[in-house]
Chain A
Amino acid sequence: GQSLEQPSEVTAVEGAIVQINCTYQTSGFYGLSWYQQHDGGAPTFLSYNALDGLEETGRFSSFLSRSDSYGYLLLQELQMKDSASYFCAVRDNYGQNFVFGPGTRLSVLP
Chain B
Amino acid sequence: NAGVTQTPKFQVLKTGQSMTLQCAQDMNHEYMSWYRQDPGMGLRLIHYSVGAGITDQGEVPNGYNVSRSTTEDFPLRLLSAAPSQTSVYFCASSMTGALFSGNTIYFGEGSWLTVV
What residues make up the interface of A, taking CB atoms closer than 8 Å to B? 29-31, 33, 41-45, 48, 50, 87, 89, 91, 94-103
What residues make up the interface of B, taking CB atoms closer than 8 Å to A? 31, 33, 41-43, 45, 48, 50, 58, 90, 92, 94, 96-100, 102-110
Given contacts A45-B106, A98-B92, 16 further A-B contacts (CB under 8 A): A29-B99, A33-B103, A33-B104, A43-B107, A45-B105, A48-B103, A48-B104, A89-B105, A95-B96, A95-B97, A95-B98, A96-B97, A98-B45, A100-B42, A103-B41, A103-B42
Contacts of A29 in B (CB 8 A): 99
Complex Cα distance, B42 from A46, in Å, reads: 17
Query: Which of B42, B98, B99 is close to A101, meaning CB atoms less than 8 Å apart?
Result: B42
Contacts of B100 in A (CB 8 A): 31, 50
Contacts of B92 in A (CB 8 A): 98
Complex Cα distance, B102 from A96, in Å, reads: 9
